[in-house]
Amino acid sequence: MSIIRTPEPAQATGAWAEQYAGDLRALGYVPSHTRVMATSPQAHQAFEDLTGAIAQSIGLRLYELVTLAAAGAIGSQACRLAHGRRSRGVFDDAQLERIALDYHAAGLTELEVAAMELAEKISGDSAAITEQDTLRLRELGLDDRQIVDVVLAAAARNYFSRALHALAVVPDVPPDLPDSLREALLDGLPTAGGR
């Protein structure tokens, strides 16, 4: 599962039990990433608070699109699967498959495509980003806070996904995720190490 030793849900106490309880209620199981991140509960809660504030600013739809783009760009199977599942509350499965395979041809708005392109660029070579990359978001209607929050959404996904990679967290396949959607979310991602 990971290089980190974590208790099973039935044996969890304290911070682990608290972290596990939320996922058991929402998902019916405790994903590997929750088990590992519960090792540092204050840091995990700070991350959840950060992503919650970002999503509130830019909306869940744009937040999930940016997250999927960033996770794909860094090859995070765990985050693509988890946020693919979460995105099912915003998109139907057919559109989500199109987004996963080629978001440029998935019927998204110009703003959504630009935000996903920026997320990929942040995840690949953030030092190469120019003023024009972020100004494009303003031209398409975002205010300064929303621009900051799109960038933060991509950067936060890099933080979390890279931590999962470094800790050898094996990705969970959500049991309610259709096979065709799972395959689309993982299409083109590296398989080395199963992560």
pLDDT at 1: 60
Predicted confidence pLDDT, tens digits, the chain (195 residues): 688 898 888 898 888 888 899 899 989 999 999 999 999 999 999 999 999 999 999 999 999 999 999 999 999 999 999 999 999 999 999 999 999 999 999 999 999 999 999 999 999 999 999 999 999 999 999 999 999 999 999 999 999 999 999 999 999 999 999 999 999 999 999 874 444
CB atoms within 10 A of CB 167: 16
Residue with tokens 């998109």: 91
pTM of the model: 0.93
Per DSSP, helices labelled H in the chain are 14-27, 32-37, 41-58, 60-73, 77-87, 93-102, 110-125, 131-139, 144-166, 179-186
